[in-house]
């Protein structure tokens, strides 16, 4: 895949186009708009040894349809990230033979291309998973053998995004994430159809003022947790990467005030593709698992009991339940949260 043959050039923002017509410079930081110089992309081809549904595998990492770090346009998935080697934009496209073409721009391009197989589930190990224990799981697995558990290997990004989603609706969390990353992140390079932004640096996360969090729609407990995590980022990331089990990573993440088992599980799923992570205390998950496996709602203890036969692969079961199409009938109107940002 090349930058010109497969990817449409991105149009500039209204501000940039107006500035170009008037001959003045855009009134925004140069690191944000216009985007960094594209240059030639670094390229690779990943040939998975297993069936792979690229979209269902990789887009599980997206934070809503308006995520400024990730977008899918046509056959191409775009992802901007802040890698250990710098900003990178990665474009992925699956070919008819199953191979994934990757192109990357920016200082972190080599890291992003090296990590591409893991993002596509190459390190996901389904050994020991027995789908036949329940007919719904068996059927979902039969229909979706090509869905893998993706991992980003970006621990702080995974933890911060999980904190955004604590105790709020997805609409609220994704909106806050979109605003903060767009306002305080860094414009990503490459010819993406729409502007992409990499998340803020650790230092930038620390400096976001309280009024900005409020305007973004994030509550003070969540914003304080993200800032506290940024202050401890080096030690948290190092300890999580050195841990070898989910329980050890739980202890690392929950040592941070404001991070509980739900947030830890979500960070483990995103950063490490943990096949056994279960997001207990989720508003919907226990009900969803219980209804799918028994036809009735259960609480967290009931969910863990139902998932016990798949110990070690419980996240895989949860993912297959989500793909099964079995949904509990709604019992009331959809929640419409109140917007307090103008107060």
Residue 228 is assigned to a structural domain of this protein:
yes
Q: 339 lies in a domain? A: no
- CATH number at 215 reads 1.10.340.30
DSSP string, 252-306: HHHTSTT--HHHHHHHHHHHH--TT---TT-SSHHHHHHHHHHSS---HHHHHHH
Q: Is residue 148 situated within a structural domain?
A: no
Consecutive H or E run containing 268: helix 261-272
Domain count, the chain: 2
Q: pLDDT per residue over 75-90, tens digit each?
A: 999 999 999 999 999 9
Same domain, 159 and 304: yes
- Write the DSSP assignment of 172-204 as a string of letters: HHHHHHHHHHHHHSEE--S--SS--EEPPPHHH
Q: Please state, rounded to an integer, the average pLDDT across all residues of the chain.
A: 89
The pLDDT, as a whole number, for residue 334 is 54
Main-chain phi, psi angles of 265, to 5 degrees: -65, -45
Alpha carbons 111 and 125: distance in angstroms, whole number: 22
> What mean pLDDT is predicted for residues 6-10?
38
Please give the pLDDT value at position 14. 42
Query: ω into residue 34 within 30 of 0, thus cis?
Result: yes
Domain boundary among 107, 137, 167: 137
Least confident of 26-35, 85-94, 160-169, 173-182: 26-35
Residue 215 and residue 130 share a domain? no
Domain boundary among 91, 109, 137: 137
Residues 161 and 255 both lie in one domain: yes
pLDDT tens for each residue of 171-208? 999 999 999 999 999 999 999 999 999 999 999 999 99
For residues 75 and 131, the answer to whether their CB atoms sit within 8 Å is no
Residue 128 belongs to domain with CATH number: 3.30.310
- Say what the pTM is: 0.86
90-137 pLDDT, tens per residue? 999 999 999 999 999 999 999 999 999 999 999 999 999 999 999 999
Q: Which residue has the tokens 């620390």?
A: 206
Do both 107 and 163 map to the same domain? Answer: no
Span 63-73, mean pLDDT? 96
- Across the range 149-170, mean pLDDT stands at 95
Supply the pLDDT for residue 328.
87
pLDDT band at 329 (very low <50, low <70, confident <90, very high): confident
Range(s) of the domain holding residue 320: 155-324
- Do 200 and 252 fall within a single domain? yes
Whether pLDDT at 310 is above 90: yes
The sign of the torsion formed by the CA atoms of 55, 336, 296, 309 equals positive
């Amino acid at each position: 895949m090349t930058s010109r043959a497969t990817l449409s050039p991105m149009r500039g923002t209204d501000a940039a186009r107006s500035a170009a017509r008037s001959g003045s410079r855009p009134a925004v930081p140069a690191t944000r708009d216009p985007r960094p110089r594209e240059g030639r992309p670094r390229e690779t081809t990943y040939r998975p040894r297993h069936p792979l549904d690229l979209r269902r595998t990789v887009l599980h990492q997206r934070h809503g349809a308006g995520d400024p770090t990730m977008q899918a346009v046509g056959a191409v998935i775009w992802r901007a990230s802040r890698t250990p080697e710098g900003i990178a934009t990665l474009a992925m496209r699956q070919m008819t033979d199953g191979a994934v073409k990757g192109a990357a721009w920016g200082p972190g391009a080599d890291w992003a291309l090296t990590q591409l197989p893991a993002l596509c589930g190459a390190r996901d190990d389904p050994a020991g998973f027995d789908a036949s224990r329940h007919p719904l799981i068996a059927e979902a697995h039969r229909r979706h053998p090509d869905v893998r558990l993706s991992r980003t290997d970006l621990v702080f990004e995974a933890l911060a995004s999980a904190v955004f989603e604590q105790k709020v609706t997805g609409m609220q969390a994704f909106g806050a994430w979109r605003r903060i990353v767009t306002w305080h992140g860094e414009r990503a390079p490459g010819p993406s159809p729409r502007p992409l932004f990499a998340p803020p640096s650790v230092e930038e996360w620390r400096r976001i003022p309280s009024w900005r969090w409020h305007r973004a729609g994030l509550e003070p407990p969540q914003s304080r947790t993200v800032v506290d995590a940024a202050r401890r980022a080096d030690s948290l990331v190092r300890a999580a990467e050195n841990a070898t089990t989910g329980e050890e990573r739980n202890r690392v993440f929950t040592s941070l005030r404001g991070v509980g088992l739900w947030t830890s599980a979500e960070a483990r799923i995103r950063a490490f593709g943990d096949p056994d992570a279960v997001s207990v205390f989720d508003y919907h998950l226990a009900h969803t698992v219980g209804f799918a496996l028994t036809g009735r709602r259960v609480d967290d203890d009931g969910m863990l009991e139902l998932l016990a036969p798949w110990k070690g692969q419980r996240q895989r079961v949860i993912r297959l339940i989500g793909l099964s199409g079995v949904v509990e009938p709604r019992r009331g109107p959809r929640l419409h949260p109140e917007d307090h940002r103008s107060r």
